[in-house]
């Protein structure tokens, strides 16, 4: 592939993934705000997070710059940055462009128990959106679309489902900086919370370790990939 073809392929890749990320993280923010509201804390609802508007949940410019820079730098170096690595970085550095909903866990009807439920709500939101993506594949009649539109929509839905299932599985792992790490606080004694706080200070190092260390990396990716396949197979068996 020559340089011009490589650049066009990169632009196409970013053009597909960027709206996927907007949808994923906007739905996540909405779902977590809705979960907090149902559990008894209306703070996020009152602060305007109970919406699918991406501007309420994301610093869109920062997200766009990150996706563009990572993909184009990778392309200039001669190959694509693996999607799995990009996705993992998005999870680990999400605090830089995610606008977190304001949640007062003390307002939950059963604070410690409901904080655990809330901690998994991000992962659940991604899995729900992955299921919705497969539902769209099943019910949409794409035959009337021209070929280029069919290909683009099919790629968007495939990327949406794959990314949603990846984020869903990864965010269910209770390890900083992954999404379910917040369940460690209600499940442990306050005297150990400083350890969790310290781990959060090394988010990027933890992400690189997960991706690069041979033993850790192999186990992590095997478990994540296996769970993705199991969940996707289950969803497909339900729908098709």
Secondary structure (DSSP) of 84-110: HHHHHHHHHTGGGTB-PPP--GGGSSS
Best CA proximity match to 63, nearest among 25, 101, 31: 25
Q: Hey, how many other C-beta atoms are within 10 angstroms of the C-beta on 121?
A: 21
pLDDT in 10s for each residue of the chain, 240 residues: 555 666 666 677 778 888 998 999 999 999 999 999 999 999 999 999 999 999 999 989 888 887 777 666 655 555 555 666 667 766 666 667 888 888 988 889 888 899 999 999 999 999 999 999 999 988 876 666 666 666 778 889 999 999 999 999 999 999 888 878 889 999 999 898 999 989 888 887 888 788 778 888 889 889 999 999 999 999 999 988
DSSP-assigned beta bridge partners for residue 58: 98
User: How buried is 22 (Cβ within 10 angstroms: 0-12 exposed, 13-18 middle, 19+ buried)?
Assistant: middle
Best CA proximity match to 21, nearest among 76, 102, 93: 93
Contact criterion met (CB below 8 Å) for 126 and 231: no
pLDDT of residue 157: 92
pTM of the model: 0.88
DSSP-assigned beta bridge partners for residue 98: 58
pLDDT of residue 236: 93
pLDDT of residue 14: 77
Best CA proximity match to 205, nearest among 177, 237, 224, 179: 177
């Amino acid at each position: 592939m020559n340089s011009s073809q490589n650049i066009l392929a990169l632009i196409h890749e970013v053009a597909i993934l960027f709206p996927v990320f907007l949808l994923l993280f906007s739905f996540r923010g909405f779902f977590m705000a809705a979960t907090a509201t149902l559990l008894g804390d209306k703070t996020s609802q009152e602060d305007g997070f109970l919406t699918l508007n991406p501007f309420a949940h994301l610093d869109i410019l920062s997200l766009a710059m990150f996706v563009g820079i990572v993909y184009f730098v990778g392309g200039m170096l001669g190959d694509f940055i693996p999607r799995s690595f990009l996705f993992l970085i998005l999870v680990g550095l999400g605090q830089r462009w995610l606008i977190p909903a304001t949640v007062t866990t003390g307002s939950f009807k059963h604070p410690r128990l409901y904080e655990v439920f809330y901690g998994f709500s991000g992962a659940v939101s991604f899995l729900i959106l992955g299921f919705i993506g497969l539902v769209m594949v099943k019910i949409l009649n794409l035959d009337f679309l021209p070929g280029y539109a069919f290909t683009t929509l099919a790629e968007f839905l495939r990327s949406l489902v794959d990314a949603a299932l990846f984020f869903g599985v990864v965010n269910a792992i209770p390890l900083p900086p992954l999404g379910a790490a917040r369940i460690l606080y209600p499940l442990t004694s306050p005297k150990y919370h400083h350890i969790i706080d310290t781990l959060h200070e090394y988010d990027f190092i933890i992400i690189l370790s997960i991706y690069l260390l041979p033993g850790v990396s192999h186990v992590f990716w095997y478990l994540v990939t296996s769970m993705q396949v199991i969940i996707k197979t289950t969803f497909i068996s339900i729908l098709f």
